[in-house]
Amino acid sequence: MKEEERTNRIGRAILGAIRDEVGVRVREEIARMHGHHDEAVEGKEMLTTQEAAEYLGVSVSYLHKLSANGALRYTKPGGKLKYFFRKDLDERLRANKNK
């Protein structure tokens, strides 16, 4: 049983590393496809409203509309500015990719 647990642990570690690498490559490809490779937002997990709008290639008002109807998650630390989760923006880009 110990050998099986060790194998499972190793397998999970490998899958985790692959998932991380795939995530990086997917974000790079999305940025390349949309012509958005802004080093200012590279590596940030949360983006300001302006950064998120530029990242998606939409207007700030449209981004507000998406967040108001629940299409995009955001957080408002301190109750002021909205910050958007980069992974949600990436999912939105993937979902809207031409089929």
Domain ranges of the chain: 2-95
Per-residue pLDDT of the chain (99 residues), as tens digits, is 688 888 888 888 888 778 777 776 776 666 666 655 555 566 678 899 999 998 888 899 999 999 999 989 999 988 889 999 988 998 888 876 654
User: Which helix (DSSP H) or strand (DSSP E) does residue 84 occupy?
Assistant: strand 83-85
CA dist 76 and 79 (Å) reads: 5
pTM, two decimals, is: 0.55
Residues in Cβ contact with 52 at an 8 Å cutoff, skipping those fewer than 6 apart:
63, 72, 84, 89
